[in-house]
Structure 1
Amino acid sequence: MKVLYILLILVSTLITDQAYGEKCVDSESKSAATRLLNDLFCSYDKNIRPVLNQKTQTVVNTTMYFFGVHMDEEWNVLKLSIHLVMIWKDEFLTWDPTKYENVETTQQLSSSVWLPDIMSYDTGFDGDDSDLLYFLPTSSVKITYKGIVKYNHRVTFTAQCSTNIAHWPFDTHNCTVIMGSPIYTNLYVNYSFPTGYYNLEYYTAEKEWEMKSVHQECYPLHYISLNNSYEHCLLQYELTIKRFSSMYFSSVIIPAAVLSLMSTFTFLLGREIMIRIILLALFFISELFYIQFLNTKIPNNGSHPVYIVLLYRNCLIQTAISLFISVLSNELYKRGTDDFPPESPEWLKSTSAFLLSRKPISMLTNFDNQGAELLVEKIIDEDSPNRLRDENAKFWKTLSILVDRLSFIITLILIFINFMFLIP
């Protein structure tokens, strides 16, 4: 058993020597740059923090250039595009330029050196596994002879952001992005920001979203060990983003107002019943199509209703009621044009008289006292042989006009209330 153990150790040693041997090759005849890279990375281990004393803190000078933000509403994920620049000292990557033909800098893939990885702690999932990156993407790093390493690359941080689009398309969202090292605390790796925690010099608003404000503060984490306790500070960014709504105002809000008003003004078309019904049917279909369009455009908002959808729902109901009233009004008028108009019920006469006896209603409907009398009084010549028929015909025709005018006033008031409370 002991012999087997010794053999395993020998094999492991040979494999290790061979692995290092592939990196540590004789480069006397090579160029200075090749010899430099061979000497630097011969026994370099990128998994070890590059300090001679592991108690020494690695300071990473960091600059974040914000380029743009995007909100994925379907998955409630905020995407933050940042150009990340990090500079730190790698004590294992230093050399004497005079030994390498005065070569003072070199380039290397970031995957070959130790990196102070930084990630978003509340990374959001948007349905694409490829976006779930917990470490920095591979890039080229610049290394100086003093061991100064510079990482310079565009990265995308994602964060879960709970949104409420009830006020779509005038919605504003507040999102929190928490960043930090996935491995080290501030005791070992300290991200410093000599030029500020963020830079908006190159920020450009996209077509859908605009970043209104950004605020940075420390997100503290407290650690307690056997000997002492300390606080670890993560980077917390509070972002406020707002949707560009000018296009939606023209393409969604204005059509809702126009369709509602046009359906209301059909009550003023008088006896053009076929035109009224055709117009109201077209308005109804248009509003129905708009609701379906909003259903495809606006994601589900959970238990919170979206006001613009409620607005179109109410407009659709209003148009349907207007269509029903138009048919009813036409039927009332047709009764007055029959050869033998039916006699009107007393309750209908008294109700109509009561309404028109109210001055605001008579003024709004433009009915004077004579118009009210047509509904209740027998002002037809009593000597007329067709007195009763003429009286009934006059009542039904006048009642039809009253229904149209009252419906016009009531619908206008309802439209005002609908838009006042449901315009986001």
Structure 2
Amino acid sequence: MLSVHVVSANSSAMTRLLVLGFILLAVNNTIQFSVDTYSQCPEDQVKNRSMTLQLRKHVFCDYDTYVRPSLHQDNATKVYLELIPKFIEFDDHANTLILYAWMAMIWTDEHLKWSISKFGNLSSLQVSSDELWMPHLYVYNSGNLDREQYGIPKTDCVLHSSGQVACVPAMKYMSHCIANYQHWPFDRHNCTLYLGSWSHTGEEIDYNFFDDGVLEMPDFTPNPRWKLLSISAKKKVDKFEAMNYTFPRLTYNVVVERHSTFMQTTILAPAIVLIILTMMVLWLNPMNSERMVLAALNLICHLLCIIDVNWQVPFNGDTLPSILVFLKNSLIIASAVLFLTALLRQLKGISIPAPVWLTSTTSFILESKAGQFILLATLDPNTSTTMGTKDDNIRLIQSSATSSIINPESVNAWHHFATLLDRLSFIAVLLTYVIMISVLLPK
């Protein structure tokens, strides 16, 4: 009894499958019949309609959008392009250029010609790009793998009686750039956009420029952060000897530069203030407590400025931006100035006689006019002719001789050495800042 029910259930299932198969076959035959009927495009059905409708039925009768628009497959389809930039964006953290533009395209579709006299002198027809064969134009170095980077979006086109098709789709091109932020915030980037076809060779589709690649930019909207310096177009042909094929490639070079006015206020102005602050520390008397406080404050300001710039500057791989190199060197100088201030305070407080090598070196420097000029603003004018006597243990300059001799037994020799070291440090730091600015400043 159980076997009878199983056989009955199997038979019922097979019957439902057979009925479903017949239904699908009938629907498929109906659709195919409708397509075949439409493809025949009987003219008597649209004979009393508008001339535009008659023209559309005539032109698109048996037209296939996947067939290349050439009667002879050996002839290459020439496609003329012109890029019309409208707006640019540059993502400096992702090193990506985004170009919004119109891409004017013109080619001849030999399958879509008609006689003007037969259709009421209609010389053109507005059609959708979905109804036409469209050039396969892709971005080779796309910075985004979205569908909009592959192919051409839907747009309206104008079809002429000669078969010429003109389309101007709105495009959004995105490409990766090899950015260099060494001169940030005065950085300039040269980005390259490669356009071509993945599915057609140069023997099938031949891409060319209008006016030899000269670009026009009517109503171009400037970017508030980036300035478009130049954009140029060039055609390159890659040839594969093994297959004897060529692949044309359209190259657009876009050069952008950052608007650095805002950055000059937020980045360069603090750097200049740090230079002035460091020089002020060296100018003050080491024995004043204000110099020690100012030197510590200068070091803290350097650290805060480096942290702030580090958050703003884009990542640049192994190349360190010049502004960070400058702040790093300036931080080292500020640390050295703080250490020098503490050292000079200790030297001026030493109460033991100076060694011979120190006094002789100091005397040698003071014998020169440069050394006397360095100490001119720091020593007392009344003692500039004599650097001391045995009574006060200070001997600076002998009045009867042009040489400056320091008494080795004088404990105040440490004071003169510290003063000389302080003035020389001021000159050395000033020259160091001048060299750093001349080397690191972008040309």
1:346 corresponds to which of 336, 343, 355:
355
Give the CA deviation at 1:170: 3.3
Deviations 1:118-172 (A, max 9, x none): 223222x2xx543761211221112234432211123233333322222223334
1:183 matched to 2:202: no
1:92 matched to 2:101: no
Alpha carbons 1:79, 1:156 under 8 Å: kept: yes
State the partner residue of 2:235: 218
Alpha carbons 1:107, 1:142 under 8 Å: kept: yes
Q: Which shows bigger deviation, 108-117 or 185-194? A: 185-194
AA aligned opposite 2:312? K
State the partner residue of 2:336: 321
Summarize the Cα distance change of 1:16–1:354 in structure 2 as closer, same or farther, 3 Å threshold. farther
AA aligned opposite 2:63? Y
2:138 corresponds to which of 113, 119, 137:
119
Give the CA deviation at 1:332: 4.1
1:166 corresponds to which of 182, 206, 213:
182
In structure 1, stretches of 5+ residues that fail to align are 1-6, 336-340, 383-389
Alpha carbons 1:264, 1:322 under 8 Å: kept: no
Alpha carbons 2:76, 2:204 under 8 Å: kept: yes
Q: Distance in 2 between matches of 1:87 and 1:308?
A: 49
Q: Distance in 1 between matches of 2:147 and 2:287?
A: 61
1:81 match: secondary structure: strand
Q: Which shows bigger deviation, 217-226 or 84-93? A: 217-226
Q: Which shows bigger deviation, 356-365 or 113-122? A: 356-365
Alpha carbons 2:149, 2:172 under 8 Å: kept: no
Alpha carbons 2:366, 2:372 under 8 Å: kept: yes
Q: RCO (CA 8 Å, sep 6+): is it higher in 1 or 2?
A: 1
2:151 match: secondary structure: coil
1:196 match: secondary structure: helix
State the partner residue of 1:360: 370
1:305 matched to 2:320: yes
Q: Distance in 1 between matches of 2:96 and 2:186?
A: 19
Give the CA deviation at 1:69: 4.4
Q: Distance in 1 between matches of 2:253 and 2:184?
A: 21
Alpha carbons 1:63, 1:196 under 8 Å: kept: no
Q: What is the TM-score normalised by the length of structure 1?
A: 0.77
- Tell me the C-alpha RMSD between the 2 structures: 3.8
Give the CA deviation at 1:16: 3.4
2:337 match: secondary structure: helix
AA aligned opposite 1:164? N
In structure 2, stretches of 5+ residues that fail to align are 1-21, 395-408
Summarize the Cα distance change of 1:365–1:104 in structure 2 as closer, same or farther, 3 Å threshold. same
Q: Distance in 2 between matches of 1:88 and 1:377?
A: 101
State the partner residue of 2:309: 294
Give the CA deviation at 1:326: 2.2
Summarize the Cα distance change of 1:284–1:132 in structure 2 as closer, same or farther, 3 Å threshold. farther
Q: Which shows bigger deviation, 313-322 or 153-162? A: 153-162
1:303 match: secondary structure: coil
Deviations 1:238-297 (A, max 9, x none): 444444444434543343233213311222232673433343344333332332232222
Alpha carbons 1:65, 1:198 under 8 Å: kept: no
1:54 matched to 2:64: no
Q: Distance in 2 between matches of 1:182 and 1:309?
A: 43
Which one has a bigger Cα radius of gyration?
2
Summarize the Cα distance change of 1:263–1:199 in structure 2 as closer, same or farther, 3 Å threshold. same
1:77 corresponds to which of 91, 96, 100:
96
Summarize the Cα distance change of 1:300–1:379 in structure 2 as closer, same or farther, 3 Å threshold. farther
Give the CA deviation at 1:365: 3.5
Q: Distance in 2 between matches of 1:21 and 1:317?
A: 85
State the partner residue of 1:266: 281
1:261 match: secondary structure: helix
2:343 match: secondary structure: helix
State the partner residue of 1:198: 214
Alpha carbons 1:20, 1:42 under 8 Å: kept: no
Summarize the Cα distance change of 1:274–1:101 in structure 2 as closer, same or farther, 3 Å threshold. farther
Q: Distance in 1 between matches of 2:287 and 2:147?
A: 61
Alpha carbons 2:287, 2:345 under 8 Å: kept: no
Alpha carbons 1:64, 1:82 under 8 Å: kept: yes
Give the CA deviation at 1:62: 2.3
Q: Distance in 2 between matches of 1:94 and 1:350?
A: 103
